Amino acid sequence: MIPVTKPFLPPEDVYKKYIESIWKRKWLTNMGPLASQLEMNLKSFLDINHLLYVTNGTIALQMAIKALELKGEIITTPFSFVATTSSIVWESCQPVFVDIDAKSLNIDANKIEAAITKNTTAILATHVYGNPCDVLSIEKIAEKHNLKVIYDAAHAFGVKIEDKSIFEYGDISTCSLHATKLYHSVEGGLLISKSPDLIRKLAHIRNFGISDFDSFSELGINGKNSEFHAAMGLANLDYVSEIIDKRKALSQRYDEMLLNVRGYFPEWHHKATKNFAYYPVIFDNEELLLKVKKELDKNQIFSRRYFYPSLASSLPYLQKVELAITEDIAKRVLCLPLYYDLTFEEIELITRIILRIQNNT
């Protein structure tokens, strides 16, 4: 069986050393020494000044909306994981969907201004598969219309644009450290902002709004993470470069094997590095995708229609909106297995099946 993803785990003895230190201290949560150390190590690794470690990527999005005190309409993408949209709704704001660019699969910056109204307060865009949005155009639009910008960078750990972390764009960036991500802490999330004041506010929000031992400054939530999760984050951080290198080699093997695939691949931001978080293929049509997926499933090879269906037309708590490019791409994109333990031989098996099916269709 070949899953679509498999979590990376560090050597067991490396993790055990951190766990033994937890046993000695008996400090299990509430931003203990390991969680604090992880924040410091991540700031150093990512070369950023301000970062918070939180429970998960969804809480990070909700906290970002709360910290920026957003109301009314938030322009967002329909091509993302459901948490991007549900966080907006959860915080009593109204998502306004803008169609995506067919090449990058990110929100089409050229269509954002047409969606702005007097009730618009922010843009929440996703760096899809870790591929950076058109951040400079979005920044200009936000400045022109006095809007806040949040980036859902759940997939974009380690990505840079011209030696600058992708996390440094926008008012706040969030990241997921879920077990399915290339770098994870089992469950976890990050909040990043260039603003020390925003980070201070978010730190209070993370801890129930407590600003001192007996006083409150914000409406808060329990957004803290445990020492056990931080231990996994610390243990895994030493292997991130190795993980990305391996995923790069695997992705290049896919590229070689799928030169003649009937489809195409997302166009990456021309000034950005790649972290090889996913391997998406956009097939020529949905019929071909379904035949390929069925044959892969039959061989116990599991792919994922990520993201399908479009959020704009599938959520029961929102009015349905048909966006032509998103609807089309969502029906044709398939993410193939990609993880550290995947082998070249397995990639050759996967791609042979894909090419056989397309040649017989």
Query: Are residues 132 and 258 part of one domain?
Result: no
Dist CA 90 CA 62 (whole Å):
8
Q: Which of 353, 323, 334 lies closest to 264 in space, CA to CA?
A: 334
Query: Are residues 157 and 56 part of one domain?
Result: yes
Residues, the chain: 361
The neighbouring-strand residues paired with 150 are: 124, 172
* Centroid of chain to Cα 58: 10
Gyration radius of the chain over CA positions: 21
Give the pLDDT confidence score for residue 182 in this predicted structure: 97
Total domain count, the chain: 2
Task: List Cβ neighbours of 220 (8 Å cut-off, separation of 6 or more).
Answer: 204, 205, 206, 207, 208, 209, 210
Give the pLDDT confidence score for residue 11 in this predicted structure: 97
Supply the range of the domain harboring residue 180.
12-98+105-237
Residue 225 lies in a domain: yes
Q: What is the dihedral of CA 9, 10, 13, 19, to 10 degrees?
A: -70
Residue 183 near residue 236, CB atoms below 8 Å: yes
Query: Are residues 300 and 173 part of one domain?
Result: no
Beta-carbon neighbour count of residue 331 at 10 Å? Answer: 18
Residue 108 near residue 81, CB atoms below 8 Å: no
Query: Are residues 55 and 141 part of one domain?
Result: yes
Residue 1 lies in a domain: no
Query: Are residues 333 and 229 part of one domain?
Result: no
pLDDT tens digits, 43-97: 999 999 999 999 999 999 999 999 999 999 999 999 999 999 999 999 999 999 9
- Judged on CB neighbours under 10 Å (0-12, 13-18, 19+), 300 is exposed
* Terminal C-alpha separation, the chain: 25
CA atoms within 13 A on the CB side of 212: 2
DSSP classification of residue 300: T
Query: Are residues 177 and 38 part of one domain?
Result: yes
Q: 343 in helix, strand or coil?
A: coil
Q: 200 in helix, strand or coil?
A: helix
Residue 4 lies in a domain: no
Last residue of a domain, one of 218, 237, 256: 237
Give the pLDDT confidence score for residue 211 in this predicted structure: 86
What's the CATH code of the domain at 26? 3.40.640.10
> pLDDT averaged over consecutive 10-residue blocks of the chain (361 residues)?
98 98 97 98 98 98 98 98 98 98 98 98 98 98 98 98 96 98 98 97 96 88 98 98 98 98 98 98 98 98 97 96 97 98 98 96 83
pLDDT tens digits, 226-277: 999 999 999 999 999 999 999 999 999 999 999 999 999 999 999 999 999 9
Q: What angle do CA 35, 276, 44 make, to 5 degrees?
A: 35
Q: What is the model's pTM?
A: 0.97
Residue 297 lies in a domain: yes
Long-range pairs, 9-12, Cβ under 8 A, ≥24: 10/232, 10/235, 10/236, 10/238, 10/239
**To 10 degrees, what angle do helices 344-359 and 286-298 make?**
130
